Amino acid sequence: MRLEDKTVVITGAASGIGRETARRCAEEDAHVVVTDVDTAGGEDAVAELEEIGAEATFYELDVTDSDRVHEVVDEVADTIGLDVMVNNAGTGHPGDSLEDIDDGVRDFVIDINVNGVWNGCHAALPHMKEQGHGSIVNVGSLASILGLPKQAAYSTTKAAVLNLTRTIAAEAGPYGVRANAVCPGFTETQMLEQYLETQGDPEAAREAMAEQYPLKRLGEPEEIANSILFLASDESSFVSGHGLVVDGGFSTC
C-alpha cells in the first residue's frame, strides 16, 4: 500500500478531482481528511470511504479563511499526523475578455485559487518541516503553463500556483519536504459542466473541445487523481518542484 500509515488532507474533496483523490488515497490505505465548503457532499464522501473500510474524517472548510485552515490543519497534525497536503479546492469563471471581467469576479477567483492554496501550504509547512518529511501537491491547470483565451483571471491564478509550488520546493527541500503541482487539461467535472452550460450547446462544445486533444477525449477525474497519488507517495521521492502536466497531449499541439 503506497500510503499506509499516512494521513492525507485534501481540500475541495466533496466532488470531482478532490473526491476521486480521496478515494484513491483511501484505497492505498491512507487516513483521508476530506475538507470542503460543501458539508453534505463532504460527509457523503466520507461515508463512501468508510464503506470500503477506509479511515476518513470530514471538516467543513473554506480555504479562503486562513484562521480556519490553520485550525483544521493544526488539529489534524496534532491528533493523527500530517504526511500529505493536497490543495485541490478551486474555481473558474465564465469566459470573457480581460477588460470585460468584473473586478469582483477576478478577486473571487484569486481568493480561492491563490490565497486558498497559499493558506493550505502556510498551515502545513511548519508541521512538515518540524517532522522532517511531507509532500505537498497543489492542483494547477493547463492554464498554469498556457495562457487560455477568455480565461485571464483563471490563467493568472493557476500560473501563480505553479510558481508558488516551485518556490516551496526550493525553500522546504532542505527540511525533507517535497512540493509538486498537477496541471490537468479539461476534465469531466462539475466545474467543466458549469462552463459548458454557458456555451449554448453543451454537447457540441464538449465534442469540439475533445477534438483539440490528440487523444480525442477529455480527462477523467480518476486519471488526475492517479497523478496526485503518485506525487503524494514515496514513489516520487526524488520529484520536487515539478508541474506534472496531465492533458492528453493538448500542450504538445
> What is the number of residues in the chain?
253
H/E/C letters for each residue in 106-165?
HHHHHHHHHHHHHHHHHHHHHHHHHHCCEEEEEECCHHHCCCCCCEHHHHHHHHHHHHHH
Q: Which residue of the set 154, 175, 195, 213 is catalytic? A: 154
Q: Known catalytic residue: 213?
A: no
Contact between 20 and 31 under an 8 Å Cβ cutoff? The reply is no
| Distance between CA atoms of residues 196 and 183, nearest Å | 20
Q: Which of 29, 240, 28, 36 is nearest to 138 (CA)?
A: 240
Q: Which residues are catalytic?
A: 154
